[in-house]
Structures are given as structure tokens and as C-alpha cells.
Amino acid sequence: MDTSTARVALAALALLAPVLVGCGGDDGTDGSGGGGGGGGGVPEVKTAALGTPVDIEFRASGADTVQGTGTVTVTAVREGAIKDLTDAGFELDPEEAATTPFYVDVTFQNNADVEVDIQGMSGRDQDNTLILPLILLDLSGEGFAPCPKVPRKVAAGQSATGCSIILVPEGATLEKVSYNAGGAAGFLYWESGL
């Protein structure tokens, strides 16, 4: 196979799940133990409406160092089709091919005077199970037109847009979209609008 044109889709769940063990609670919390008002020591988790900017402290990748402040806004959640990915030349395993892709459009606003790190969106199903984004390995450099990837950084005082692909298994519903803000903030949530 010509590696200059190879395109592969990897389920982030399979790659990153061991890293996330213990990051979230089975009770729908972010696992931070902070917050309040949920009763019985369970933090109340607020969910913003689509299009609502949520304040954030951006953190350095792999660290809890705050780089600066800004906002994250989920602007749309669009249902796609596995055919979109296969027609674009991406190879999917049978488990991935049996899902429904949802494209999560997001805008990041960096209000800091330094560049900040950002990451893709994740999701939660009706049982509050975390669904990590799909990672597309695109050696051709063509990208995936229906859902342009989230950049890794946002320049000082600038905004950036991107899209994450969340593969929802058959029988599951994408209830919420989430962003791991890190630190005591844990996850930020938006309604999926579905």
C-alpha cells in the first residue's frame, strides 16, 4: 500500500481508554469531587445549550498548568454516515463500521496573551458512558471535508474552529457533548440537540 495516500480511522476509545480509567465517575460526575448541590456528595453537573460559550482555563497538554482563559462553544452536532468516511478512503474495523458518526463543530476563543493547547470533543450516551472522539490518520494530507479536525493550539487573542467525530454504537444515543477542561473543572458539557 502507498503510505502517502493511506487513510486510517482509529477509535480513540480503544487507544485511550486505559489512560482515562478513574477520570470519571459512574454516577455522571467528572470524578473531581468538587462542585455541589447534587445531593449525597455528588456534584451537580451543568449542561449548556448548543451555541453557548462556556468559560474555561486552558491547560498545557499533559499537565495541569493553566495557560490562559477563554471560551469553548459547541456550535452544532450533525449526524453523518459511515459512508462519508469510507468514501473518503478511511479504513474502519467492523465495530467502527457498525456505528453512527456525529460531527461536533466547536469554536475555541483564546483570551490569553499566549498560545494555548486545545483538544477534541468527546460525548456521553444515555447511560453517561464516555465516548471518545475518532482519530483519523490521514497521511495524504487531504483532511476530511465534512469534519475538519480540531487544531492543537490557538494563537494568543485568536479563535479557532474544528470538528470532532464521535462514533455512537447501535442502540446508544448521544445525549451530551463534553470537553475535558482538566484540573478541578473536569468535564464541560453541552446538550447534543438530538
Average pLDDT rounded to a whole number, residues 27-51: 52
At 129-185, the pLDDT tens digits run 999 999 988 767 778 999 999 999 999 999 999 999 999 999 999 999 999 998 878
Which of 149, 141, 142 has its CA nearest to residue 165? 149
Q: Is 96 helix (H, G, I), strand (E, B) or coil?
A: helix
Confidence bin at 9 (pLDDT 50/70/90): low
Q: Are 8 and 91 within 8 A, CB to CB?
A: yes
Q: How many CB atoms lie within 10 A of CB 173?
A: 13
**What residue ranges define each of the domains in the chain, with the CATH number in brackets?**
7-191 (2.60.40.1240)
The pLDDT score that the predictor gives to residue 182 is 86
Q: How many CB atoms lie within 10 A of CB 134?
A: 23
CA distances from 188 to 3, 10, 54, 96, 103 (A): 37, 24, 8, 26, 18
DSSP secondary structure string, 13-41? HHHHHHHHTTSS-TTSS-SS----BSSTT
> What is the C-alpha to C-alpha distance for residues 130 and 23, in angstroms, rounded to an integer?
10
Q: At 98, which amino acid appears? A: A
Q: At 44, which amino acid appears? A: E
Q: Are 9 and 136 within 8 A, CB to CB?
A: yes
At 48-59, the pLDDT tens digits run 999 999 999 999
Q: Are 39 and 52 within 8 A, CB to CB?
A: no
Angle made by CA atoms 31, 149, 183, in degrees to the nearest 5: 20
